Chains A and B, each alone.
Chain A
Amino acid sequence: MALPTLVTEHWYDLRDLSNLSREILEGADKILPHGIVYVLAALIGFVASFLIFVLPSQLIVGVYGERKLIGRMQSRYGPNRVGPFGLLQPIADAIKLMQKEALTPKGADRAVMYLAPIIFVAPAVLLFAVIPFGPKMILADINPALLYFLAVSSLPVLAAFMAGWSANNKYSLFGAMRIVAMSISYEVPLVLALLGVVLFTGTTSLQEMVLWQKHFDIWIVFLQPLALAIYFIAVSAELNRTPTDIAEAESEIVAGYLTEYSGMKWGLFYGMDIGYALAASAFAATVFLGGWSMFGLDKWVPPWMIIIGKTHLFYFVFIWTRGTLPRLRIDQLMAFAWKFMLPVALLNLVLVATERMLWVEQELDDSYLYIFAVVNIWAALGAIWAWSRFLGYRPERNPVRARLVNEAGGYVPVPEAAKGGK
């Protein structure tokens, strides 16, 4: 698919910032030696990505916004002391963390323990390379971008395992064991859900997926709501976000694999946790929510603003679930992955494959996509209803109000009707 001609090549067209940087670098190339131009390019890239993505997303939304929003959900204020509205709180935190001593417990494997945060950081940065921020604002427009994303995003599990294993702490070991077991389980439905998207769009390039959604003017979330649901649950399990944060479950195993970390070693884990969540949100926004396209609005609004907005919208859902839901037990999470997510992902795949075949073989009209969307939304609702019906607890069978008796005495037998069950 050819690039649409919406972006002019002028430097002042801020809808795609790559024009500006190209102009600057081409101009500099004429008067400066090559070495300095490389440095300049790196500097521009760093400053631009910091101003556009890292500052608003990582620091303001990721650290400050999350704390502020969770604070409001918990009926308290959240950070409000450092700077205006507490906006400088993340910076103050970072300074504090750098000053703190990074302790290494006695008996820990020092080398592995130091290596783990570093290994944890690198993939988080690499992940953003394939996210398209605009028609041409993409660092590496590689064809197997989706596979690249999946491969790189399973790397931090290794770092988390190293962190938990090396710390010589039983809580850390528990966390490491849990995260490895869980990410293996959740990788399967995650990939199966994304396979449906690949099947429908016929590409593994993220840029082409965006263009596909732009071309047909329909987001994949409408075509495959079930895939988005599976992706969201599976990715929140891999990212250790509540309700599936069993690897660092605070009330059970203190902080899981992070228990023995302090100072900036901990800070890297904390910061990059947010980085992974943002990368997963950006990926979901690209694959399911149309990326930088917005039903023609991207002609007027810079596309990078659109995708950042979508990323933050998705990230807000992460914050929301974190602020509201209790945590599942590990065996329940495993059962959920294998007993519910895997069959539903397969069901989704079968449905999508059938629709795709019909669409291509019968050479159907584009408007059939909307019919597929209606069918798939109903299928998603049906799957969720069936789950709550057959697998979940049924409130009408299980009493949720205590019985009331007026006289003190001994044991009051439970009436047969209120015995309940699954």
Chain B
Amino acid sequence: MTDAIKTEPFVLNIGPQHPSTHGVFRIKVTVDGEKVLDAEMVMGYLHRSMEKLAEERTYTQNIPFTDRTDYLSSMANNLGYCLAVEKLAGIGVPARGDAIRVIMAELQRLASHCMAVGAFTNDTGAWQTPVMWAFREREKILDIFEMTCGARLTCNYMRIGGVAFDLPAAFEPAVRKLLRELVPFIDEMEGLLVGNEIFLARTRGVGVLTPEQATNASLSGPLLRGSGIAWDLRKADPYCGYEQYDFDIPIGYQGDSFDRFIVRIEEMRQSIKIIKQALDGLPGGPHSTQVPLALRPPQGEAYARVEGSRGELGYYLVSDDGPSPYRFHIRAPSFINLSALKEMTVGGTVADAIVVLGSIDVVVGEIDR
């Protein structure tokens, strides 16, 4: 009987137009029924050759490009690039500028994790409701960005040597009000999802990564922490005065999709904690140092990294004493986190592959750059 029925695996294209690929990203999965035998990633649909474009523009003109790599956390991208240029040119930042940068980066992390958590639950099949709830909170954060720098998504707020403008007077009360509203929201979101049997069944034990696998695949951010490795650049390599603030690194247990989810939820709580401390101790003084518009850093190279929402966001700059970077390389966390996609999906079902992709939390603008 089994000889008479011939089955063979076939290739299913998930993407580039698919509701769950978070943009134009494509996975070619070879499936045997529902079981995934092989997964191959195809990317580049959104490639804009930013690294080449940046070689033709001055250091200041490149800041808007960094907005458009990871468009869900533009502040963190700005910050990473500015830190790299400051490291290259040896420019200091006043204390107020550092504190504002920390507040903005953490608000951006909150906004980005709202999106990540919402989209992840959408991938598990909770039809749009959690993602809309998360969007509601994210809107409030984007309103604060709009109040500060005039833009909501591609902020272009950080400058080399500080930030573009000082904070408006209404900023502090607005942020304090926002944080008061966010705490119950996070608790509610967590309570609704971690207590849900179906959500647990879908995410527990799906896409398990051992710490060795996670390290060897160069992962970073919530994926690395979900596997139980306590690595957070804000603690390990403090920048912008993160060493002054008291916060913890959340880590997971067994490295499955659920652990990445709870790590993100807990990171949101820690971000709120950091913002409160930064607001309480917001120093006076200038918000930025004066930097010449046509900056010519001395010859050399610099690699600066920040803990972005998706992991280690690094900028490798080479200067040849010219007004524009000689080489501009972005270590994009979304791109490198995908290295482990195949290990996580093979052996599961198609539905699991979607959940795993959601738990990696990719942003296609950053993968393709």
Contact = CB atoms under 8 A, between A and B. Distances in A.
Q: Do chains A and B touch in the complex (CB under 8 A)?
A: yes
Interface of A: 70, 73-76, 170-171, 174, 177, 242-243, 245-246, 249-254, 322-332, 388, 392-393, 395, 398-414, 418-420
Interface in B70-89: none
A343 B160 CA distance: 68
24 contacts: A70-B129, A76-B132, A174-B350, A250-B19, A250-B127, A253-B350, A322-B127, A327-B126, A327-B198, A329-B201, A400-B195, A401-B266, A402-B225, A404-B251, A405-B230, A405-B248, A407-B249, A408-B231, A408-B236, A410-B229, A410-B230, A413-B228, A418-B253, A419-B254
A74 B230 contact: no
A322 B129 CA distance: 9
A334 to B, nearest CB: 11
Nearest to A178: B34
B263 A402 contact: yes
Contact of A419 (B198, B253, B262, B266): B253
Nearest to A250: B19
Contacts, number: 158
Given A330-B349, A418-B253, A412 B229 contact: yes
B106 interface: no
Interface string B160-197: 00000000000000000000000000000010001111
B230 A408 contact: yes
Interface in B24-39: 33-34
Nearest to A400: B194
A375 to B, nearest CB: 27
A324 B248 CA distance: 32
A75 B136 contact: yes
Contacts of B253: 399, 403, 414, 418-420
Interface string B193-219: 011111111101000000100000000
A126 B288 CA distance: 74
Nearest to A411: B211
Contacts of A245: 125
A170 B200 CA distance: 28
Contacts of A399: 253
Contacts of A407: 230, 235, 249
B248 A251 contact: no
B262 A401 contact: yes
B358 to A, nearest CB: 8
Given A252-B350, A252-B351, A323-B129, A405 B251 contact: yes
Given A400-B262, A401-B262, A414-B228, A393 B194 contact: no
Interface in B221-253: 225, 227-232, 235-236, 248-253
Given A249-B125, A327-B198, A329-B349, A412 B19 contact: no
B20 A252 contact: yes
Nearest to B11: A170
B228 A242 contact: no
A412 B231 CA distance: 10
Contacts of B195: 395, 400
A327 B125 contact: yes
Contact of A74 (B133, B200, B235, B265): B133
A1 B86 CA distance: 91
A74 B122 CA distance: 12
Contacts of B291: none
B121 A326 contact: yes
Nearest to A243: B198
Given A75-B133, A252-B354, A408-B235, A402 B250 contact: yes
Given A251-B19, A327-B198, 12 more contacts: A74-B129, A75-B136, A328-B198, A329-B201, A398-B200, A403-B251, A404-B249, A408-B235, A409-B230, A410-B229, A410-B231, A419-B253
A179 B256 CA distance: 29
Contact of A402 (B121, B201, B252, B349): B252
A404 B269 CA distance: 11
B302 to A, nearest CB: 22
Given A75-B133, A332-B201, A400-B194, A405 B249 contact: yes
A332 B34 CA distance: 13
Given A174-B350, A412-B229, A74 B128 contact: yes
B18 interface: yes
Interface in B110-141: 121-129, 132-133, 136
A329 B34 CA distance: 10
- Residue among A73, A392, A404 with the highest chain B CB neighbour number at 10 A: A404
Contacts of A246: 351
A250 B266 CA distance: 29
Given A252-B20, A252-B351, A393 B197 contact: yes
Contact of A331 (B34, B124, B200, B227): B34
B249 A406 contact: yes
B352 interface: yes
A243 B125 contact: yes
Contacts of A74: 128-129, 132-133
A404 B125 contact: no
